[in-house]
Structure 1
Amino acid sequence: MADRLTENVLITGGLGFIGSHIVDALGQNAEHKPVAYDLQPPDSAKGNVVVIRGDVFDSVKLQKAVRDHEISRVIHMVGFASIPGCNEKPSASFRLNVSSVHSILETMRVCDVERVVFPSTAAVYGVTNGPQVNEKAVPNPTTVYGCHKLAAEMLIRGYAESYGFEPTVLRLFNVYGDLHKEQGMISQSLRKAVAGEPIVVNGGNQLRDFVLLSDVVKAFVKSLDGVHDSQTAINVGSGVGVSIREIAEMITRSFPNVQILYNSPHNGEYSIYADVSRMKNVLGCVATSPSVGIPRFIEECKCVSPLEACSQP
């Protein structure tokens, strides 16, 4: 087992939108040594990062990586994080959002690794009775993505109760802060704005919880050594509801030549944002206010060229 002062952490999906930033953060952290495991790992590693090219479904290679690097913690970032994409390709969603979880849990069981951090989603809640939701709300997902993430949560709970795992499940709300990799509403709209194209808004009055990427990364790092409860997830959000219309208007104030085109909402104009009490009390994390973080991110994107905005690393 790794020395307690330098816990070795396996990050599956270490090239993805959030995973790559977790890897970078842990690479600068003396307490944790990150091991990035991905089909297409980064070309160059920062800090003390170890990079392994591998498939999460290759149990032999995955177990070898865990044993060779004396892994004591896992952050499982492999997934298909797109509501429309999962609705269009439900089999791919199940494979990446559920089967990959089973694969990493089995590897952990065989290799005697107990601690895992898993990114779930606010989509497990579905349409709630009120806009602000806490972790005690009964999940009622209405999308393939939300259903599969909830299934993964239940799988993790089953392994925790059966094999003594120490899981932390983080239910992420709308993460923003990476213009190139993020597929959320803010970055999609900003890429259009940088290119001088209209921003399309479906509905506009519905409230969403937008949480800055760097705050999400902090929550993952804190979860590596935090309190674990297999029965309760932790919301990761800002705790503030911001309307989609407000986001579009923030962007067009910085890009005055860009138009906003309004369409009917896809699934009704329901609102949802996080009660972040557990995030504060359990993890000690306080998120950046959207009124500060979103305008700052928009300003950072103003100096990006249209070609850079459209590029996908």
Structure 2
Amino acid sequence: MILVIGGAGYIGSHVVKELVQTKDVLVLDNFSTGHRWAVHENATMIEGDMGDKDILENIFTHYPIEAVMHFAAYSLVGESVQEPGKYYQNNVAATLNLLEVMVKSNVKKIIFSSTAATYGIPEGPVITEETPTNPINPYGRSKLMMESIMKDFSKAYGLEYVILRYFNAAGADESAKIGEAHDPETHLIPLILQNLAGDRPSISIFGTDYDTPDGTCIRDYIHVTDLARAHILALDALLEGAKKNAIYNLGNGRGYSVREVIEACERITGKKANVTMAPPREGDPARLVASSEKISRELGWKARYSLDDIVESAWKWNKQLKATV
């Protein structure tokens, strides 16, 4: 059985949907940002917090857990700057609590959801796993701290991990039964689609004079189902002993500017966005694009979905979301 912490959230729920096809799955979620409707019907659900040692010890005592998948971090960059204590308490202290109970219970395999925010503002056009990590906000720092702690736990207690650093998760499952439903929503594609659906008055472009072809920021977008597949491959490799203590980037390997994303959304929906210009946000790099060559080479993973595929699935989900929530 696989314990998925945060399995009611956006990425966690998509991983669970794929995972239940081959594994018994137990989801632990406190529903601070996740949704009950997002938990797959074939997964066992426990409501609780990974900061609660009693709940964790009860789970590891009563269920045959083989490995843990961690998706339970807070992940809003702006909020992390305003409330760093909240981020260090959950993303570091509560996760450390999890690792301690895992070691005590002799469960020593974990897939850890990390982030491109660990790199900060990198030099060079493409980010590899060898790019220096220099996070510029508490969110990125909290994730990098946990990466370091897992390395220390590996040396001291034999913990085995695979860390996945990914970029802009987007899109929705093809069934349109699960997808992004954040409150507040901060991600570009759903914000654009909300405007195109008439649920948001406008969409802002933050900065138009970056050193990019059209002056707007370039980012790497990856379909959430591609992300889920990568997690399953990483888990299988960890369980089989083929890989341990590995770090992989996950992205499309191709960047899209803000204007290109808006144009794709307009093209797919046949609607015109109401775009407003805003000053650039402090700390926003001009370009963030991932190299996924390492995970492609070692685990055989490749992104299957294009930007248009991502937008199309997100638009289908946007229309379903009003009936779901």
Distance in 1 (CA, whole Å) between partners of 2:87 and 2:20 is 30
Distance in 2 (CA, whole Å) between partners of 1:38 and 1:299 is 27
Aligned residue for 1:141?
135
Distance in 2 (CA, whole Å) between partners of 1:83 and 1:158 is 26
1:234 equivalent to 2:237? Answer no
For residues 99-248 of structure 1, the aligned pairs below 5 Å read 99-177=93-171, 178-181=179-182, 183-195=186-198, 197-203=201-207, 205-226=216-237, 227-230=242-245, 232-248=246-262
Distance in 2 (CA, whole Å) between partners of 1:187 and 1:202 is 16
Q: Is the 8 A contact 1:130 1:272 kept in 2?
A: no
Q: Deviations over 1:211-242 (max 9, x none)?
A: 00000011111111214342x41001111111
Of residues 42, 62, 68, the one that matches 1:68 is: 62
Amino acid of the structure 1 residue aligned with 2:8: L
In the TM superposition, residue 100 of structure 1 has moved relative to its aligned partner by: 2.1
TM-score of the pair, normalised by structure 2:
0.85
Distance in 1 (CA, whole Å) between partners of 2:14 and 2:249 is 19
Q: Is the 8 A contact 2:233 2:299 kept in 1?
A: yes
Aligned residue for 2:5?
12
Q: Is the 8 A contact 1:206 1:243 kept in 2?
A: yes
Distance in 1 (CA, whole Å) between partners of 2:102 and 2:163 is 16
Unaligned runs of 5+ in 1: 1-7
Distance in 1 (CA, whole Å) between partners of 2:317 and 2:7 is 24
In the TM superposition, residue 300 of structure 1 has moved relative to its aligned partner by: 2.4
Distance 1:189 1:130, change over 3 A: same
Q: Is the 8 A contact 1:193 1:199 kept in 2?
A: no
Q: Is the 8 A contact 2:226 2:305 kept in 1?
A: no
Amino acid of the structure 2 residue aligned with 1:206: C
For residues 296-307 of structure 1, the aligned pairs below 5 Å read 296-297=312-313, 299-300=315-316, 304=319
**1:233 partner SS:** strand
Aligned residue for 2:306?
290
Higher mean displacement: 187-196 or 128-137: 187-196
Matched residue count: 299
| Two-structure CA RMSD over aligned residues (Å) | 2.2
Unaligned runs of 5+ in 2: 172-178, 209-215
Distance in 2 (CA, whole Å) between partners of 1:116 and 1:151 is 16
Percent identity between the two aligned chains: 27
Q: Is the 8 A contact 1:42 1:51 kept in 2?
A: no
Aligned residue for 1:53?
47
